[in-house]
Amino acid sequence: MTDVLMAILVAGFTSGALYALATVGLSLVWGSMGMLNMAHAAMLTLGGYVAFTVITSLGLPVAIGFAGAIVAGALAGAILYFAIVRNLLQNDKSTFEANVMIATVGIGIALENAILLTYGGQPLKQPVSIAGALRLGPLTLPWQNLLIIAVVVVMMVVVSAALGRTRMGRAIRATAQNRDAAQLMGVAVNRVYLQVLMLSGALAGICGVMVSSMTQLSPPLGNDPMLKAFIMCVVAGLGNLPGAIAAALGLALLESFVQYALGARWGFPSLLFVVIAVLIWRPSGLFGHAEIRRM
């Protein structure tokens, strides 16, 4: 019984960590700029494929593969900013949220298909995996899962330190809380938006590498984590980072338990059930504030 419980917990924490990473990227962009980035999934996928190319085709070490995914994600974020966001922001602010959502759906589809054209549709194996497991008495903890959890914890610490303790991070939070006031203080909000999109892209890139290391690389790789991340965001309250992490862990554990107890196909419906319940009883999310509009 402890074996089963342990397996559920390990699986739950691992997917929780991955969801948290995807969620934080999505939530950061929403919270600071009121932008629902529908291309987030494709950015995740991009990270996975870039790491694959760096490690398999170029024969470089795994660490360089990770770095490549981070750089590719950040670059994708920058391109998104210069090609789309900057221009849409010049229009009427009230139409930004809807326009940017539609535009990023298009970018996401284009990117996913560009990956399909380049690599083909057949699943590929992500060469970032460690065999074996850590044995602690009766417990068996696969190294692969431990690696993922460790990487995510490190990323979360880095992101929260960057947001909490640096001048750039304070400017990002200030922009999220009151864009006009931030501008009055001398914050160039366009630069903040660029930084946020690059940070979010970098997180998506690394997330893509790790998601694909648990499954396989395929062009729609990012869609499932992005969908889950969106659910986590709604449950936590859009734009709330600590809440997003808590929701990601909680819901992933719930998903694992339900998958074990009722069968794999009930995992996703159980998440949807939670979303519906939250939307009925706490429309602004479990940890959300009443007002979530920021633009």
Partner 1 sequence: MTGAAAKPPVLQLDGIVCGYDGLDVLKGISLTVHAGEFITVVGPNGHGKSTLLKTISGLVPLRGGQISIDGRRLSGKPHETAMLGVAHVPQGDMLFAQMSVLENLLMGGYLAPDKAEITRRLDEVYALLPKLADRRNQIASSLSGGERRMVGIGRGLMMGGRILLIDEPSLGLAPLIIDQVYDVISQLSKAGRTILLVEENPARVEDLADRLHLLDDGAIVWSGKPAELMARDELLATYLGG
Contact positions vs partner 1 (CB under 8 A): 167, 170-171, 173-174, 177-178, 180-189
Nearest-approach distance from CB 174 to partner 1, in angstroms: 5
CB closer to partner 1, 105 vs 170: 170
Shortest distance (Å) from residue 29 CB to partner 1: 18
**Pure H helices in the chain:** 2-33, 40-52, 62-80, 86-90, 96-119, 143-165, 167-177, 179-184, 189-214, 223-236, 241-262, 267-281
Cα–Cα distance for residue pair 254/271, rounded to 1 Å: 8
How many angstroms separate the Cα of 36 from the Cα of each of 86, 100, 166, 212, 266? 15, 7, 25, 23, 27
CB of 187 to partner 1, least distance (A): 6
Least CB distance from residue 33 to partner 1, whole Å?
A: 16
> Which residue lies nearer to partner 1 by CB, 205 or 288?
288
To partner 1, the closest distance from the beta carbon of 117 in angstroms equals 41
* CB of residue 28 to partner 1, shortest distance in Å: 15
Name which of 266, 224, 227, 270 is nearest 251 in CA terms.
270
Judged by beta carbon, residue 5 or residue 181, the one nearer partner 1 is: 181
Look at the block and give the residue holding tokens 């009443």.
290
Tokens at 152, concatenated = 């995510």
d(CA 110, CA 73): 15
For partner 1, the closer CB: 19 or 30: 30
Nearest Cα to 32, choosing from 205, 245, 236, 197? 197
- Identify which of residues 142 and 288 has a Cβ nearer to partner 1 in the complex: 288
Beta bridge partners of residue 32, listed in sequence order: none
For partner 1, the closer CB: 157 or 188: 188
